[in-house]
Amino acid sequence: MRLQKPIVCVVTRARGVVGSPERLALLSRVGAAAGAGATMIQVRERHLDDRALLAFVREVLDATRSTSCQVIVNDRTDIALTAGAHGVHLKNDGVSVADVRSIAPAALLVGRSVHSEAEAVATALGGGCDYLFFGTVYPSTSKPDDHAVAGIDRLRRVCAAVALPVVAIGGMTSARAAEVARAGAAGVAVISLFAEATDVFRVVTSLHDALTSP
């Protein structure tokens, strides 16, 4: 496995222009998360244009360079390759893993979001994928109130159906991280929990501890 368990992935929500106090604060928090042992930082900034996204990915790489944390770009293989990021994360309805593998170096991590057992199995059988995101597992403040919630039982079935590491996303807390680990998940991805944390180091370490507790 190319990702060491447990996987703790922080998903960004960028704020502010380059050099602004908001942007610098976010990069400091990203660096703190990486220093605390976060496995991945996923840059998911759909509102940024190409130039701004490339600049932000490079800033995140600089902020995490002294750590083992890997920087993953959401959906944009071109940006990931140009910036020198460690990987790309694909949408379930976007470009295929095979297409990315046809143009990317073997060292590039490739992950994919799935929302069902069938999608997970099909992705695993297709080969070339390093990990899966599955969700939304719990109700999440980053999703609309009417967004579908998969639940822990569906997560358990997905984890049992594939050998790939499955990362649970959606409404994650330390208590829920322990629950998804017992369901077979290799780790968790967090958005709101990271964005709203007053102590980023403590959040990451508590997630890591929850994922590794008996």
Catalytic entry in 29, 76, 112, 113 = 113
Catalytic entry in 5, 23, 44, 157 = 44
Residue 91 falls in the annotated catalytic set: no
Catalytic entry in 143, 154, 156, 157 = 143
**Residue 130, φ and ψ in degrees, nearest 5:** -95, -30
Q: Reduced to 3 states, what is the DSSP secondary structure of residue 39? A: coil
Residues 82, 108 contacting (CB under 8 angstroms): no
Q: How far apart are CA 57 and CA 43, in angstroms?
A: 7
The neighbour count for residue 183, using CB atoms within 10 Å, is 20
Q: Please report how the helices 117-126 and 152-161 are oriented relative to each other, as an axis angle in degrees rounded to 10.
A: 20
Q: How far apart are CA 129 and CA 97, in angstroms?
A: 6
Contact residues for 141 (Cβ-Cβ < 8 A; gap 6+): 171, 192
Residues 211, 39 contacting (CB under 8 angstroms): no
Residue 44 falls in the annotated catalytic set: yes
Residue 58 falls in the annotated catalytic set: no
Give me the helices (H) in 65-136, please: 77-83, 97-103, 117-126
Q: Which residues carry out catalysis?
A: 44, 113, 143
